[in-house]
Amino acid sequence: MTPPTELPVKPDARAYVLGGNASTLAFTSNLVPENRQVTAWLVPLAWTPIGVVLGENWQRVGVAADNLAGWTDQTFDPSDERSFVSSLRELDLLARIGWSAAVPSVLTEEVVVNADDLSDDVLDAFAHPPEQLTQCAICRRTCVRDHFVWNERRLCAWDYHATVFGKRGPWRDAPYEERLWETIPHAAYVAGPLLDDVAVDAVLAIDGLDDELAHKLLNEAIAGDPGNAHLAVRTAGGYTLLRERPTEQTTTGDGPSAGETR
Ligand SMILES: [Zn+2]
């Protein structure tokens, strides 16, 4: 396992993406066999509510040169809904001409020679820097290591939203006392679409204000809205204030919240 960052930046670096699935993307930069093998690189992937994120630690695997297509088909089993396999005919042509390039240090759209084979979700991932990935402590799906940590457990966005913003989350029915600000959940972001599943609304988002003013505004919003449970979340850019939907509405689905009374 060679961390890609240790490789020198090579202007002629190229990657041919072989295929991918929900957790991995495979590419090769050299189709000239060595000891009848070619090298494929496995890049970890995480699917998150804000898009696909590439992982930092690539794994190098040797694949029998005469079975690269078979290996790709087997590795990216079509029963995985996110699995895809690139054009193997093109791969065959490249192998015949002995295509080879330097291994890129980072995957970007510029270095990928077959971007046409990739979905927009995967292409978008190339625009962002890679992150450290890990497995969610609850569902084992690949997630970004430091985005959602709760009680020292690293979770995917889905399990974090369900756990921390669910019924047993640290909800309050009164403004926060000063000492409590240290204890509020800290998440990279709050994903709006995931709040519907736990019947929660984001009622206030604060970005870029200093803490003292932000705390004051959050507490004013809580104090001015008695009878509802609130939960303040520290995010990468500031704070988000969540409010539980009244329970009688959860049975009727997601209709407009009756009477945004003012
Ligand atoms: Zn999970």
pLDDT tens across 175-213, in order?
999 999 999 999 999 999 999 999 999 999 999 999 999
Alpha-carbon distance of 240 to 201, in angstroms, equals 10
- DSSP label at residue 126: T
**Residues of the chain by 3-state class (helix, strand, coil), percent to 5:** 25, 30, 45
Distance in Å, CA 196 to ligand 1 centroid: 17
What is the number of alpha carbons within 13 Å of residue 253 lying toward its C-beta? 1
| 50 CB burial (10 A radius; 0-12, 13-18, 19+) | middle
Q: Which of 7-11, 61-65, 77-81, 206-210 has the lowest mean pLDDT?
A: 7-11
Q: How confident is the model at residue 262 (pLDDT cuts 50, 70, 90)?
A: very low
Q: Which residues surround ligand 1, an ion (CB under 5 A)?
A: 136, 138-139, 156, 159
For residue 258, the model assigns a pLDDT of 44
Q: How confident is the model at residue 10 (pLDDT cuts 50, 70, 90)?
A: low
Matching residue, tokens 């004051």: 216
Q: Is the pLDDT of residue 259 over 50?
A: no
Distance in Å, CA 106 to ligand 1 centroid: 27
Distance in Å, CA 22 to ligand 1 centroid: 13
Distance in Å, CA 140 to ligand 1 centroid: 6
> Full-prediction pTM beyond 0.75?
yes
Matching residue, tokens 């670096």: 13
Q: What is the pLDDT of residues 122-170, one digit of tens each?
A: 999 998 899 999 999 999 999 999 999 999 999 999 999 999 999 999 9
Distance in Å, CA 35 to ligand 1 centroid: 41
Distance in Å, CA 135 to ligand 1 centroid: 8
Q: What value does the mean pLDDT take over residues 5-13?
A: 61
Distance in Å, CA 230 to ligand 1 centroid: 24
For residue 224, the model assigns a pLDDT of 96
Rg for the chain (alpha carbons), in Å?
Answer: 23
Distance in Å, CA 43 to ligand 1 centroid: 20
Alpha-carbon distance of 57 to 60, in angstroms, equals 10
Distance in Å, CA 157 to ligand 1 centroid: 7
For residue 120, the model assigns a pLDDT of 93
Q: What is the pLDDT of residues 89-129, one digit of tens each?
A: 899 999 999 999 999 999 999 999 999 999 999 999 998 89
Q: Are strands 16-20 and 24-28 parallel, antiparallel or unpaired?
A: antiparallel
